[in-house]
């Protein structure tokens, strides 16, 4: 009896494995097919992408044209600055250099158009009330803190902030900043600007609230940029992405052990939220860690919540208070 039973179990075991394998494969294929179906639907959404080259209009404008430009683009000419400032800037040596470099780096604007089309299609799918905004291209003296602007009716793109991380014009800018001054990161920057219009500001000053706030912004990037890598979305190198994945459990244990989630001092934002060359655990690992580790951790928490509540719309997820979202996410590090 014992032998027969064992034999029978041995005969059944492969079939059980086959069921498990093919069942898992079926669900994986189904999920993939579902995702592909959504993307196919999104790709059919009509959008209008026209690029308004204010940069060229301003650079080539005569004195008479200049006053017309002020009429057409009042939002680009703050009233506190006299006309003499703008006329001087028009022929400033830096303006000439930047315009020439833009013409060299971007002989065609197809890379911008392609990313804009996809981004606008995804926005319309997930946020159907949004309209196609007017897209204006300009130069902004390499103001890397304001690469793009997104409003309900207007998108501003500073072409001179996407010339490539190795462009000599960016010499002297810290590496953790300059790495995403590249066309590959353009979509992520603009998606984040859009996120600012739909993600509610934190209701309290805790570190957790800030983490979840940024996590929601990255969740928007997950929706709008399905083909972009996580490294592109958060501006981490491959090595930095490997580091956070390998140390996810340690990072979480550190935040819990030192009871950081409910700290309200601004120093914790500087250590773990604000862009920086590395995060500040005040340990030997600091120089190995990437900056914004709190943002990344908040992203994982929001992802965990979204996965567990797939029945909720993006709008419902974004409206969920930080404490409630955290409690129901039941976030657990991967390793």
Radius of gyration of the chain (CA): 25
pLDDT of residue 1 exceeding 90, the answer is: no
d(CA 274, CA 291) in angstroms, rounded, equals: 7
* 16 found inside a domain: no
Is the torsion defined by CA of 204, 205, 210, 211 positive or negative? negative
pLDDT of residue 182 exceeding 70, the answer is: yes
Residues 222 and 274 in one domain: yes
Which of 154, 188, 222 is where one domain is finished?
188
| Local confidence band at 6 (pLDDT 50, 70, 90 cut-offs) | very low
pLDDT of residue 221 exceeding 50, the answer is: yes
Residues 181 and 231 in one domain: no
pLDDT of residue 327 exceeding 50, the answer is: yes
CA distances from 305 to 185, 189, 215, 292, 302 (A): 26, 24, 11, 20, 5
Residues 57 and 182 in one domain: yes
The mean pLDDT of 23-30, rounded to a whole number, is 45
Got the DSSP string for 204-218? S--HHHHHHHHHHHH
| Local confidence band at 34 (pLDDT 50, 70, 90 cut-offs) | low
* 17 found inside a domain: no
Residues 65 and 173 in one domain: yes
* 19 found inside a domain: no
The 10 Å Cβ neighbour count of residue 226 is 13
* 247 found inside a domain: yes
Residues 73 and 182 in one domain: yes
* 2 found inside a domain: no
* 8 found inside a domain: no
d(CA 182, CA 140) in angstroms, rounded, equals: 15
pLDDT digits (tens, 9 = 90+) for 117-143: 999 999 999 999 999 999 999 999 999
Number of structural domains found in the chain: 2
d(CA 16, CA 268) in angstroms, rounded, equals: 51
Query: Which of 22-36, 65-79, 184-198 holds the top average pLDDT?
Result: 184-198
pLDDT of residue 5 exceeding 50, the answer is: no
Q: Which residues pair with 53 in a beta bridge?
A: 137
Residues 109 and 147 in one domain: yes
pLDDT digits (tens, 9 = 90+) for 196-219: 999 999 989 999 999 999 999 999
Residues 70 and 126 in one domain: yes
pLDDT of residue 26 exceeding 50, the answer is: no
Residues 174 and 242 in one domain: no
Give the tokens for residue 182.
């590249």
Residues 178 and 305 in one domain: no
d(CA 83, CA 59) in angstroms, rounded, equals: 15
Q: Which domain holds residue 87?
A: 51-188
Contacts of 66 (CB under 8 A, 6+ apart): 83, 86, 87, 90
């Amino acid at each position: 009896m014992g032998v027969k039973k064992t034999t029978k179990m041995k005969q059944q075991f492969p079939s059980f494995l086959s069921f498990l394998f093919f069942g898992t494969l079926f669900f994986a294929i189904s999920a993939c097919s579902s995702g592909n179906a959504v993307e196919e639907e999104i790709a059919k959404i009509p959008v209008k992408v026209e690029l308004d080259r204010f940069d060229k209009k301003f650079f080539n404008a005569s004195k008479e044209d200049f006053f017309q430009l002020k009429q057409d683009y009042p939002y680009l000419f703050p009233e506190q600055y006299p006309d003499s400032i703008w006329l001087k800037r028009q022929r400033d040596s830096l303006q000439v250099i930047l315009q020439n470099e833009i013409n060299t780096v971007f002989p065609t604007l197809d890379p911008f158009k392609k990313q804009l089309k996809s981004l606008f299609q995804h926005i319309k799918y997930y946020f159907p009330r949004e309209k196609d905004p007017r897209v204006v291209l300009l130069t902004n003296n390499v103001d890397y803190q304001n690469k793009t602007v997104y409003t309900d009716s207007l998108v501003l793109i500073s072409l001179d902030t996407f010339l490539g991380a190795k462009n000599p014009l960016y010499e002297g800018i810290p590496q953790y900043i300059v790495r995403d001054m590249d066309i590959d990161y353009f979509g992520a920057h603009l998606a984040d600007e859009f996120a600012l219009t739909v993600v509610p500001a934190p209701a309290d000053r805790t570190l957790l609230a800030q983490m979840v706030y940024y996590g929601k912004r990255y969740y928007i990037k997950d929706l709008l940029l399905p083909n972009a890598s996580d490294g592109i979305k958060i501006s981490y190198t491959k090595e930095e992405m490997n580091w956070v994945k390998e140390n996810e459990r340690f990072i979480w244990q550190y935040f819990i052990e030192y009871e950081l989630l409910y700290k309200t001092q601004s120093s914790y934002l500087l250590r773990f939220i604000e862009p920086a060359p590395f995060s500040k655990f005040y340990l030997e690992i600091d120089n190995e860690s990437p900056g914004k580790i709190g943002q990344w951790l908040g992203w994982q928490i929001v992802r965990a919540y979204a996965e567990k509540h797939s029945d909720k719309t993006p709008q419902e997820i974004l409206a969920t208070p930080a404490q409630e979202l955290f409690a129901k996410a039941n976030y657990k590090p991967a390793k």
